[in-house]
Amino acid sequence: MPDTWVEPIGLLRGRDAAAAIAADLALPLGGGPAAFTMVRLIGPGAPQAPLPLADVPEEWQAQVIALTRGAVSFAGFELTRPLVMGVLNATPDSFSDGGRHLDPRAAIAAGHAMLEAGADILDIGGESTRPGAEPVGAEEEAERVLPVIRELAKAATVSVDTRNARTMRLALEAGAEIINDVSALRHDPDAVRVAAWSECGVILMHMLGDDPRTMQQDIRYDDVALEVAQFLAERVEWAEANGIARSRIALDPGIGFGKRLKQNLEVTQRLPLLAGLGRPVVFGGSRKRWIGELSGVEAAERRVAGSVGAAVAAAQRGASILRVHDVAETIQALAVLGAAEAGAVQPVDAEPAEE
């Protein structure tokens, strides 16, 4: 693992990006549609001054080229646009929707509503991993999520949000196609064997430590974006060594997991750094405390507009999958963003509106 990393900066989007690439002034970020015009070397003792691409030293070239290569698919999806993953918590204590979907019938109805709104993936969890949350046993967790997964997997690609190998195995048998583990397969020693055996998609997330109860207690970073990238690179190598093909992996920088407002903003701003890992980036900032701190909104359910803003910011910086509570609003924002950047009108079928 290198001590110093090449970070892309000077981002362009849409037609500006295409024009700069055509003029050899920029390179595509992770396969596009964003592009970067400059880079800088980061790490211990690295010079911080940015360089235009034409002046990049030969010893940096391999990392620069890696930044241009994006993942083309994940879990059966072609990554031609940001995918929207709907959050569905079958828990009594999740920070935003705890208790609302504990009844399987309510959870199933909510899942179908997200699909009707345009969600590509449903992420179903039975254990709250908010800061300070108490752990839930795998048996109770499985009882919460399995009826929901069995039903919704008939209509959608389902991800199971769990740290527990037993829940992973039962969820996959019930129809889930993705494992989303906030501990990056560190919590349960058997989790990697389940993931390797299954051939499913696997989301590895950065968290400070491996316990949500303590992850916010001693937050220290020298360079949070670099340390997140290094951690995720190490977990990818470890997963590959344990039988999980790189092509099956997506990466989540873990907004709010061992990070406060300053670190969450830094990671979001510098999300393009993760493009060098060559895997899809999952961004899950929806309704979290940092949105409330920035907007002055205390109640999580009222942080919709701020959450959509965060999702758009992540999409502009190369995120491939947006994990959100507010599916319809996020899809609407992405449609406008895409049209504005392309300079083309792509209307969506809708009821005629009165002027």
Specify the CATH number for the domain of residue 98.
3.20.20.20
Q: Which pLDDT score is estimated for 349? A: 55
Give the separation between CA 101 and CA 151, rounded to whole angstroms.
14
278 and 138 part of one domain: yes
Domain containing 312 equals 73-342
Answer positive or negative: Cα dihedral of 102, 106, 108, 110.
negative
Q: How far apart are CA 342 and CA 128, in angstroms?
A: 39
pLDDT for position 96 = 57
Judge whether 323 counts as a catalytic residue. Answer: yes
- Residue 187 near residue 181, CB atoms below 8 Å: yes
Q: Which amino acid is at 256?
A: G
- Backbone torsions φ then ψ of 178, nearest 5 degrees: -140, 140
Q: Residue 51 in contact with residue 38, Cβ under 8 Å?
A: yes
Distance from the Cα of residue 149 to its chain's centroid: 21
Number of folded domains that form the chain? 2
Last residue of a domain, one of 17, 41, 68: 68
Residue 87 and residue 219 in one domain: yes
Helix axes 104-117, 327-342, angle to 10 degrees: 20
Amino acid identity for residue 108 in this structure: I
Q: Is residue 347 part of a domain?
A: no
26 and 101 co-located in one domain: no
The DSSP call for residue 247 is G
Last residue of a domain, one of 68, 92, 118: 68
- Alpha carbon distances (Å) from 273 to 8, 74, 350: 6, 20, 38
Is residue 350 in some structural domain?
A: no
Q: Can you give the pLDDT at residue 355?
A: 44
Q: Are residues 27 and 112 in the same domain?
A: no
Angle subtended at Cα 305 by Cα 84 and Cα 299, rounded to the nearest 5 degrees: 105
Residues in the chain: 355
Nearest Cα to 342, choosing from 119, 32, 27?
32
Residue 54's contacts (CB-CB under 8 Å, 6 or more residues apart) are none
Task: State the helix-helix crossing angle for 191-198 and 165-174, rounded to 10 degrees.
Answer: 20
- Residue 248 CA to residue 203 CA, distance in Å, equals 9
Per-10-residue mean pLDDT, the chain, length 355 = 87 94 96 94 83 92 95 95 96 63 90 98 90 81 96 98 97 98 96 96 92 78 95 98 97 96 97 97 96 94 96 97 98 95 61 49
In a domain, 348, yes or no: no
Question: Does the residue 41 lie in any domain?
Answer: yes
Among the listed residues 169, 279, 288, 303, the single catalytic one is 288
The predicted model scores a pTM of 0.93
Helix axes 104-117, 138-152, angle to 10 degrees: 50
CB 147 within 8 A of CB 104: yes
